Every structure is written in C-alpha cells, then in structure tokens.
Structure 1
Amino acid sequence: MSMRVAVVTGAARGIGLAVAQRLASVGMKVVMADLRDAAQAASMVNRDLCAGVDADVSDEASVQQLVAGVVARYGRLDVLVNNAGISPKHGGRKARVEDTALPEWQSVLDINLTGTFLMCRAALPHMRAAGWGRIVNLSSQAGRSRSAVTGAHYAASKAGILGFSRILAEEVGGDGITVNCVAPGRIATAMAAAVPETVNQEIAARIPLARLGTAAEVADAVSFLVSEQAAYLTGVTLDVNGGYFMA
C-alpha cells in the first residue's frame, strides 16, 4: 500500500501541530495548512514527511487551491483533519452575546464551521475515487455542554461541526469514507492560555483527572480515528476531557 497522505488544518501550533507530528510518526505524509508559519512548522516536525502550506480555510478559492495542490503533488488525499479554529477573547474573557459584534460572530463561524465544510467538500471527490478516506473534525467540549470561558459563537460553531459530521458520515459511508469528531476539553495550548491562569486552575480542580489535557493526548485520539483499527467507527465523537463532561 502506498503511503497515506494527510492534510491537517490549523497545523502551525497547538493541537494541529501535535496531530501533524503524530501522523508523521506513523509514516504518513502530512500537509500542514495554516494562515501563516505553516512551512516553518513543517520543517521543524519532519522535513521528509511534512510540507507546510499557507491557506485560509474560510476562503473557498484558497481551499480549492490547497486541495488541488496536494493531489497534484502526491496524487492522492487520504486523511483530512479539520482543526483550524479561533476563539476570540477580550481582556482574557469571552464577549457576552449582547456584546458580540456581528463581524466577530461571522469570523468565528466562517473559520470554525464553514472552513470545515469547505475542506470536506473539496477533499471528498478524491477520497471517493479511491474508495477510502478518513475525516476527523475537531469539535469541542463547548459544543457538547455549557462553557463559561468560550463565547456563544465558538460554542455554536463547534456544536455545528457535530451535526454536520453526523450528516456527512451517513452520506459517504458507502464510499469507504469515515467521518468522526474529537471534542477536546480544556487543553494546555495557547488558546487556553488566553484567559487568566486562575481560570484554568479552577477548571482543572473540577476535572476528575485533576489537570488540563495535552495536545499530544488529543493527537492520539485523532491518530486512532484515522487508523485501520477504527474502520468500523463513523459518526462518533470522542470526548478528550479528563472526565469533565461525560455523555
């Protein structure tokens, strides 16, 4: 079997970077896409297996160019991990609904939710032609339950990803493509560090495992879902949150 080719969005830092590292460690060629710094991040992960591409997942033309470039270079696209996302803060705190400006609301949905849709839509013809594909969409605990630290736009976008993924899983299962979600809880990344440290300490105290998660632990869940061991899983959401939320 030829080497699998994966695209990971939002891959220059945080969870996306950890996912790219994990997939490269199991021998996949990984295209790391981000708004900026993608090439630098790829060179630090694995110069032989990783390539960085600057791309805007909220822009249809940019997405089409990204996917076309991957297929032109490697001849295939097997795995898609939609991780790109933003969660704006103001002075370290979320904006309440009545204080949220429409451009900010739209930007979050454009990147988090519409970006996931655009990437999936562009990748699917290539996966369908191959009769095999793995899509993992990064949702969030905020899309599964109430969140005191993320804005309504972020929660709405992440809940939307869950609904979108279930519909897509049903549509493409017969083509050999699985679609699943990973819903991280509080993970020690730059995004989590955008709030006061006391907030993260208070959250950690309420987590049964008594700590924040790591990006590598989320990457392990993603790696499982794109593996052959997960061949009979589709439409599933894996909660990686230390027990803070239990479905």
Structure 2
Amino acid sequence: MFTSLSGRVVIVTGASKGIGRGIAKRFAAAGCRVVVVARDRHAANLVAEDIAVTGGRAVAIAADIATEAGAHAIAAAAQDHFGGIDILCANAGVFPSARLEDMTAADFDEVMGINLRGTFLSVKACMAALEKTGRGRIVVTSSITGPITGFPGWSHYGASKAGQLGFVRTAAIELAAKGITINAVLPGNIATEGLLAMGEDYTNAMASSIPLKRLGSVEDIANAALFFATEEAGYITGQTLVIDGGQVLPESLAALD
C-alpha cells in the first residue's frame, strides 16, 4: 500500500485531452488538488469540471508553457489557488507530422518550443515551490519515439523527446540537493484522440507490432506517473520508464510470429 497523496497539489500541463487528461483525472482520484493547464481555457475547464463531478478539486488555467510568462502563470496559479506545488507533470506536447523535405524551420521550432523548451520553463518556474515541500516530484512525459525508436515525419518530435531525457538526467543531479526528484515516462502507442485520428489501418498495424497485441490506455501512463509521485518512489530520480506493451522488444516482426 502506497502512502496517500491526498491533499497534494499537482500541476498537469497539456491536460485538456489524451494522456494529460488521463494524468489529471488519475491524480484527482488519488485525492490530489489539480491545476489543469492547456492553451485552450474552455477545454481545460471541461476537464476541471469532470474532476469536480467525481468529487475532486481542480482549477483550469490557460497558458502557453513555451513562454516564460506562461510557465510563471501556472506556478503562480497553483500557489494562489492551493497554496503551493508538490508535483509537476510536464506533459504538454505536440506531434505534427512533416518529412524533412517539407519541414520548415518554423515547424521545427514550434515542436521544440512546446515539447522541450516548455519542459525546461515549467520546471524552472516551479522549482522554488517544489523545494519548499522537501519532497517535490517532477514527471516528464517523453516518448519511445526519439529516445528509442524513429518514425517518418517525426524527426523534430523525436529530437524533442530525446532532448527531454538529456534534460532530465542532468536536472536530476541539480534538483537532488533541493529534495526534488525528476523522472520520465516513455509511452508507446496509446489510444488517444491524436493517435486514433491517424486511422484504423494505422492503429491496427501498430497493435499487431506490439507483443501484448493492443494499444495502451491513458490510464497505463497515468498510473506510472502517479507511482513516480509517491513517497515510495522517493529514491528514484533521473530515470525513465517505458510503457509500451513490449513494442520496442522484438528484433523484427518475425519475432512475433
């Protein structure tokens, strides 16, 4: 049995849909007070309202975490509404597809700005409040794409996700002195709106390449993030957890026959 997280304050960026929404709702179910962050205030409000309907406590904040002002706004909102920050789930990310011959510098910068710069800015803005708790937790949502695998059209996305892990490893050393841990979850193919929008042929092909023969759920990722936030995970920092149903294990598809 894990020590209760009830009453702790968690910021979840990119929480209006997909994995972020799943993380926000899972932490709320564990009794945490949740700051739901998204660029779209209406979408963030809907998640906060869903949490409230089930008896949880949440506040919705509209912010662009790729900017310093946006990152400072989410930290301030957590402290204004709930009095501090115990956990930061740096989940916000985008994954537009563009092959190298078509990708522009602006395309590349947008993905790096939200996925990698946004992670850095969110962590920096929340550091002081996390340190005050004496047991601050940061969970970064990376991906198997970039750190382990590649996929055509996602070179900028893969670079941002690999970059997150480089950031996590050194940040873990610096943050340890402040009593803060930082770890990353690496989802495989998860049944989110974005992935399902890629079509049935794509999702079926992906499922067939996974040893467990199914896509993951947002709850699978949320449960891993919740674990990293527990007291029991307090001696784990700078680490990564792959949650992919075994997708990266086969040497080739022949291994699954």
TM-score range, shorter chain: over 0.9
Do residues 202 (structure 1) and 205 (structure 2) align?
A: yes
Q: Does 1:42 align with 2:48?
A: yes
Aligned equivalent of 1:30: 34
Hey, what does 1:97 align to over in structure 2? 100
Q: Who is 2:74 aligned against? A: 66
CA shift for structure 1 position 114: 0.4
- The reply on whether 1:87 has 2:87 as its aligned counterpart is no
Q: Which runs of 5+ in 1 are unaligned?
A: 89-93
Q: Residue 6 of structure 2 contacts residue 32 of structure 2 at CA under 8 Å; is this kept in 1?
A: no
The alpha-carbon deviation at position 216 of structure 1 amounts to 0.7
Classify the secondary structure of the residue corresponding to 1:175.
coil
1:10 deviation in Å? Answer: 0.6
Match for residue 130 of structure 1 among 124, 128, 133:
133
TM-score (norm 1): 0.93
Counterpart in 1 of 2:223? 220
1:85-138 superposed Cα distances (whole Å, 9 cap, x missing partner): 1001xxxxx321121011111100100110000000000011123322000000
Q: Structure 2 unaligned segments of length 5 or more: list them.
A: 251-257
Shift of 1:46: 2.4
1:210 to partner: Cα distance: 0.6
**Which residue number in structure 1 is paired with residue 255 of structure 2?**
none
Q: Distance in 2 between matches of 1:148 and 1:138?
A: 18
- Give the RMSD, CA atoms, in angstroms: 1.6
Corresponding position of 1:91: none
Residue identity matched to 1:59: T
Contact 2:15 2:24 in 1 (8 A): yes
| C-alpha distance in structure 2 between counterparts of 1:204 and 1:107, whole Å | 29
| TM-score normalised by structure 2 residue count | 0.90
Match of 2:243 in 1: 240
Letter in 1 for 2:216: G
What residue in structure 1 maps to residue 160 of structure 2?
A: 157
SS at match of 1:97: coil
Could you report, residue by residue, the CA deviation over 1:183-225 in whole angstroms, capped at 9, with x for unpaired residues? 0000000121232321221111111101110001110100111
Q: Percent of counterpart pairs with the same letter?
A: 39
Structure 1: how far apart are the matches of 2:132 and 2:162?
30
| Deviation of 1:228 (Å) | 1.1
Moved more, 196-205 or 52-61: 196-205
